[in-house]
Structure 1
Amino acid sequence: MVMKKLFTAIGVAAAAFALSLSAASPAAAVPAQAPTPVKSRIESTTAADTVAPASAVEQRTCRARFSENVNHRLRAEAGSAILGSIPAGAWVQTSCTRVAGGEYTACGLSSDFWMEVYWNGNWGHGAWGCVKDWEFTS
């Protein structure tokens, strides 16, 4: 009987510990519907875990479109200068990864993740929470 209580207590403690780790996970801050880009504006890729000749390197670029009109900001901060407005649904060249910056609330979400965006001849930032579609272009 004592052993049963001891093992039950250990099991409860282990479950509580596991739940505390998952609750502190930074993944909870990522919007559920948002795509997850991999690397930078132009990424070099080779076969995994192999050394390839320079001719085997592939260049990748990305594009995205937003669900609503989004401010094109100079920096990844809500108070940064606005370079323009990106219309909803317009495909724009983007980085292949999100970047951390200042916190904002847009498109029904609060986040501190931004996407580098090329619009009207300038690189700037758009709210990651408003990304509707995202894809590699090459």
Structure 2
Amino acid sequence: MRRSMGRLGLAIAAAFAFTLVPAPASAAPVEQDCVAATSVDNLHVRTGPGGSFDSLGKMQPGVDYEWNCLYIGGELYTACGVTDDIWLGIWFHDQWGFAAAACLH
């Protein structure tokens, strides 16, 4: 079941007191569906924006996952050749989770 991306994304961010980072000018507006995929094996989707949060499972490489169109500031990570603190809210196994933005396209 799909849910409203804008309100739910903001509610998630407010509940955990995350920092929302403005999307680049080329990113889709919040009103549109956004899709993210990974080509990386074993990318965890976490319950919060950081490696210290529990894992909900691992994304399958090349599979498209719905995301909430927001870039969320969280814990610093080093993955996929970069160090960053930007996470994406991913719809994963019928719930929202977070994945390292640097590993998604």
Aligned counterparts, 1:36-115, within 5 A: 37-40=27-30, 43=31, 60-69=32-41, 70-115=43-88
Counterpart secondary structure, 2:102: helix
Which one of 92, 97, 101 corresponds to residue 124 of structure 1?
Answer: 97
Q: Which has the higher strand share?
A: 2
Overall identity of the aligned pairs, in %: 26
How does the TM-score come out when normalised to structure 2?
0.69
Counterpart secondary structure, 1:80: coil
How does the TM-score come out when normalised to structure 1?
0.54
> RMSD across aligned C-alpha pairs, in angstroms?
2.0
Cα deviation per residue 1:58-116 (whole Å; 9 max; x = unaligned)? Answer: xx111110120310100001111000100111100111121100000111111000000
Aligned length, in residue pairs: 81
Q: Which has the higher contact order (CA 8 A, sep 6+)?
A: 2
Which runs of no fewer than 5 residues in structure 1 stay unpaired? 1-34, 44-59, 133-138
Q: Check 1:97–1:37 CA distance in 2 against 1; reply closer, same or farther (3 A cut).
A: farther
AA matched with 1:73: R
AA matched with 1:37: A
Runs of 4+ off more than 3 Å: none
Cα deviation per residue 1:13-60 (whole Å; 9 max; x = unaligned)? Answer: xxxxxxxxxxxxxxxxxxxxxx953554xx2xxxxxxxxxxxxxxxx1
Q: Check 1:80–1:104 CA distance in 2 against 1; reply closer, same or farther (3 A cut).
A: same
Q: Check 1:39–1:112 CA distance in 2 against 1; reply closer, same or farther (3 A cut).
A: farther
Which runs of no fewer than 5 residues in structure 2 stay unpaired? 1-24
Larger radius of gyration: 1
Report the counterpart of residue 136 of structure 1 in structure 2.
Answer: none
